[in-house]
């Protein structure tokens, strides 16, 4: 069995794409996934699967959500190893940065083109610092994410990849869940 973290983008936000986590857990269990657990209402799932293909999991889960809930949802799947590496490689580790819920992980579905990464890395955003890797943009928002100009939507446009954002606390909770 392989342990995966499933991240859904844009559900239960401002009354859009409503999805109850207990209904989602039940749906995933019916598909044969094991040890299905969710964290808060924003589409964070940890589960175990026999299939090692991330692309297959994205397709299966996406198809079932569309069929059961009636809408499409961008889905990112990360392995346990991916998640551990992403959290470990966080470049913003000082205590001031970690407190106050100002550190965000913009998880990328695919590796952005190097020229796009280099172009974005040259830009500056007031009260924000960021570091770009192949799988994550680490984003420190000094005044909070709600006031950030460099957000998930802008990163998707500039890097031309799908992404979903989680705060530091959520990443730590997901890491705790995969270590079980």
How far does the chain reach from its first CA to its final CA, in angstroms? 14
Given a cut of 80, whether residue 95 has pLDDT beyond it is no
Whole-number Å distance between alpha carbons of 63 and 21 = 17
Q: How confident is the model at residue 21 (pLDDT cuts 50, 70, 90)?
A: confident
What pTM value is reported for the model?
0.91
Tens digits of per-residue pLDDT, 78-94?
999 999 999 999 999 87
Mean per-residue pLDDT of the chain: 90
Order of strands, sheet of 44-49, starting from the edge strand that comes earlier in the sequence: 34-39, 44-49, 2-8, 75-79
pLDDT of residue 13: 65
Tens digits of per-residue pLDDT, 46-68?
999 997 788 899 999 999 999 99
Tens digits of per-residue pLDDT, 133-176?
999 999 999 988 888 899 999 999 999 999 999 999 999 999 99
């Amino acid at each position: 069995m392989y342990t995966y973290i499933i991240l859904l983008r844009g559900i239960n936000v401002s009354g859009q794409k409503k999805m109850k986590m207990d209904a989602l857990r039940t749906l995933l269990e019916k598909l044969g996934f094991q040890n299905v657990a969710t964290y808060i209402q924003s589409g964070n799932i940890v589960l175990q699967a026999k299939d090692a293909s991330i692309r297959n999991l994205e397709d299966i889960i996406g198809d079932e959500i569309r069929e059961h809930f009636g809408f499409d949802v961008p889905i990112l799947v990360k392995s346990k190893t991916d998640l551990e590496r992403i959290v470990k490689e966080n470049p913003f580790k000082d205590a001031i940065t970690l407190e106050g819920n100002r550190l965000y992980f913009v998880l990328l579905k695919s590796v952005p083109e190097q020229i796009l990464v280099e172009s974005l890395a040259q830009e500056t955003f007031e009260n924000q610092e960021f570091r770009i890797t192949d799988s994550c943009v680490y984003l420190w928002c000094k005044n909070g994410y709600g006031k950030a100009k460099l957000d998930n939507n802008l990163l998707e446009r500039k890097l031309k990849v799908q992404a979903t954002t989680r705060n530091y606390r959520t990443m730590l909770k997901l890491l705790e869940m995969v270590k079980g």
